[in-house]
A and B are shown apart, each in its own frame.
Chain A
């Protein structure tokens, strides 16, 4: 909407529904390949991450690992410092659609035919044990009843990371359809026994 058209709109718009905010496209189907950070939000903090300041996220800034020339989407650095008391031994973050959605809202429709998730990752110490997951997101409301929406599939793989950015692949189940995906991607790290700070670099995470 341009300011120059504003004077006209100002006089005709007070009662017209057409002059309201633009609407999101609810029926969009994501075409393959797509980059996870363009479609899902890293809002689902889990494990120790549900406590304040245990997991800190940096996006598209100098904290990222040196990016490969062909990397797309956003790059991330997640710092994880397990709490001295009350640690559950792991922490992680779900990339959700819409943000903070644990099943109370439907997720995103993804075109059929996806075979795998491909990403680049590294650890800051080279001792990080990471699990990368797709789907598998479900939750319950405050009465204990399951939310009306949940992912109908789950795929995950665990890796020992090095300090060099390396490529990892998580295969998806064959024949699976993706009508409403809530958790487009997730990572978890095991907390070190000595609770020393660790970190995860992520880049170029995409479905293909």
Chain B
């Protein structure tokens, strides 16, 4: 029995023990719902859960449920529906709340459902916070509120913990009153909060801001240099120099306005410095110059529950970016780029599972070159992406090691995901159009024995067209195999209340990958592996701010060039970017 279930059962038992019988007309305590539903779902199949749901629905319909248990029964049905992906859970939570409007726990369970089960790629934050706030409001003056271990105190603690998780990416709350900031003294969900996020990251990496596929980038650079130096061939030293890991400093400051009907509105400033990152001129691919990127932008995100159809998350943003060091032959030249981006995500239950579709469109309005032939001046870039994710949340019979025994058991995981992605990144340089296409697919099993396992493959393609003619000598394709194994050393989701230590989460990741050339140069085939450590620190004294820390060390071996590059990364984030559906390389 894992700890979260034990706590939930304990809470249920507490509810029964502290109030073993309730007077006629009184309602069953809200924690009883959680205890009963958890015990009904433990080790049972989906069909059995559905039968329990239908049995209770029928009992309610026939009026066979005693008055004190009607709200409780609606809540149990809602919890069972949550597990089997029945979107009518909404109605059942609301019925439980309507029947027993004084019970804070029903608001808490409903908030948890909206936060953890619903939503498209992101929690239904605006809906969830409303019910958490109502839970806190109803807890005010609740008997036993100050009594340690009372159900009211537990409900308060769990609600607080969920709100902390809901707002953890926001950073430090700035407005003096307590709305949306620990300890959540003001419970009006409509009140806005302004938060400050600050992130810093220092990395030495072969991936850069714009191209995560280093193998594709190095191959393309070598091809351009080879063409430029023709008829001379590229030397081995030149090829080795192209495989590089520049030092990168990345800092971001963001102000976020969060309001329940608005969603989140962000304004940010980001500055990135890359040392000796860009090939200055391709006729000498061993000389590099620094790159500086400064970005001022605004983003908006709103989640919308549109069931019975689906949940939606809408994201849109715009930014002005100044880049210096990216124009070949003119490393001091500054380019001004306006970036417009949008990403809709929809999600719905398919039985107990969940299907999520994401699209993304990013338009880069780049200053045309001021000089040169007229048809060589236009500059433009468009990035389009789509992703599909199917997450199995049904229980699986999996081998389990527990208390020194090994046996196969039916267990719930945090999802077995199968996903596929496609992304096209087209950039025009006058008569030349460079097209980068990436296909990806894979699977992640989350939450089995404290591990996540990910297997993923990527197909990278690079093509160059000049006046619409494909240039075979400036094209390549690669295959990347990825394995990621993650062990949760400290699992924040195990503790439903306030964590016992400020270090709420600690994860160790082993990333391994191999890049194989399919066409074009094979010089940059490589293997890469290492260790990553991710941790979260909760600072209740800093109004509940959460810090995300990461550190990694990796080694990358380009075996055809016999070159090993040591890679490292350290990051500290107070709050973090939420534009998560797009790659972070703008």
Chain A interface (Cβ < 8 Å from any Cβ of B): 1, 3, 6-7, 9-11, 13-16, 19-26, 28, 37-41, 52, 59-60, 74, 97-100, 102, 104-106, 139-144
Contacts and interface: CB of A to CB of B under 8 A. Distances in A.
A24 B375 contact: yes
B233 A142 contact: yes
B467 A24 contact: yes
Contact of B361 (A3, A13, A38, A104): A13
A179 to B, nearest CB: 14
B371 A74 contact: yes
B373 to A, nearest CB: 5
Interface string B381-400: 11011100000000000000
Given A19-B361, A20-B382, A22-B428, A142 B231 contact: yes
A25 B373 CA distance: 14
Interface stretch (B88-96, B222-230, B565-573): B222-230
A78 to B, nearest CB: 14
A81 to B, nearest CB: 18
A20 B431 contact: no
Given A11-B361, A21-B382, 11 more contacts: A11-B359, A19-B361, A20-B426, A21-B427, A25-B375, A38-B373, A39-B373, A39-B374, A98-B376, A98-B431, A104-B230
Nearest to A101: B466
A52 B284 CA distance: 10
B376 A99 contact: yes
Given A60-B371, A98-B376, A98-B430, A7 B363 contact: no
Interface stretch (B46-54, B340-348, B487-495, B543-551): B340-348
Contacts of B378: 22, 24
Contacts of B471: 104-105
B384 A14 contact: yes
Contact of A26 (B318, B382, B467): B467
Given A19-B382, A141-B231, A10 B341 contact: yes
B380 interface: yes
A41 B428 CA distance: 17
B467 A10 contact: no
A21 B428 contact: yes
Interface in B282-322: 284, 316, 318
Given A1-B363, A6-B363, A142-B231, A21 B467 contact: no
Q: Chain B's interface: helix, strand, loop or mixed, by majority? A: strand
A60 B372 CA distance: 11
Given A6-B363, A23-B468, A11 B342 contact: yes
B200 interface: no
A41 B359 contact: no
A202 B340 CA distance: 41
Contacts of B431: 24, 26, 98
A184 to B, nearest CB: 9
Interface string B424-436: 1011101111000
B210 to A, nearest CB: 16
Nearest to A52: B284
Interface string B311-336: 00000101000000000000000000
Contact of A14 (B340, B386, B467, B469): B386
A142 B226 contact: yes
24 contacts: A3-B318, A6-B342, A10-B341, A10-B342, A13-B359, A14-B359, A16-B384, A19-B384, A21-B380, A21-B382, A21-B426, A23-B468, A24-B433, A37-B373, A60-B371, A99-B373, A100-B227, A106-B467, A139-B230, A142-B226, A142-B229, A142-B232, A142-B233, A143-B231
A166 to B, nearest CB: 25
Please classify the interface of chain A as helix (H, G, I), strand (E, B), loop, or mixed, using the class held by over half of its residues. Answer: loop
Contacts of A102: 230
A56 B427 CA distance: 29
Interface centre among B284, B363, B381 (most CB of A within 10 A): B363
B380 A11 contact: no
A194 B394 CA distance: 85
A11 B228 CA distance: 40
Contact of A99 (B343, B372, B374): B372
Contact of A10 (B284, B344, B374, B432): B344
A41 B373 contact: yes
Nearest to B287: A52
A140 B360 contact: no
A98 B466 contact: yes
B468 A41 contact: no
A24 B433 CA distance: 8
B394 to A, nearest CB: 29
A21 B433 contact: yes
Contacts of A52: 284
A59 B371 contact: yes
B359 A7 contact: no
B143 interface: no
B46 to A, nearest CB: 33
Contacts of B375: 24-25, 28, 39
A52 B226 CA distance: 17
A106 B233 contact: no
Which of B227, B233, B431, B473 has the most chain A CB atoms inside 10 A of its CB?
Answer: B431
Contacts of B232: 142
B427 to A, nearest CB: 7
A193 to B, nearest CB: 28
Q: What are the nearest 10 A-B pairs in CB distance?
A: A10-B342, A14-B359, A26-B467, A13-B361, A21-B428, A24-B431, A26-B468, A21-B380, A6-B340, A10-B361
A10 B360 CA distance: 7
Contacts of A19: 361, 382, 384
Given A14-B361, A19-B382, A21-B433, A98 B467 contact: yes
Interface in B416-468: 424, 426-428, 430-433, 466-468
A38 B374 contact: yes
A24 B229 CA distance: 26
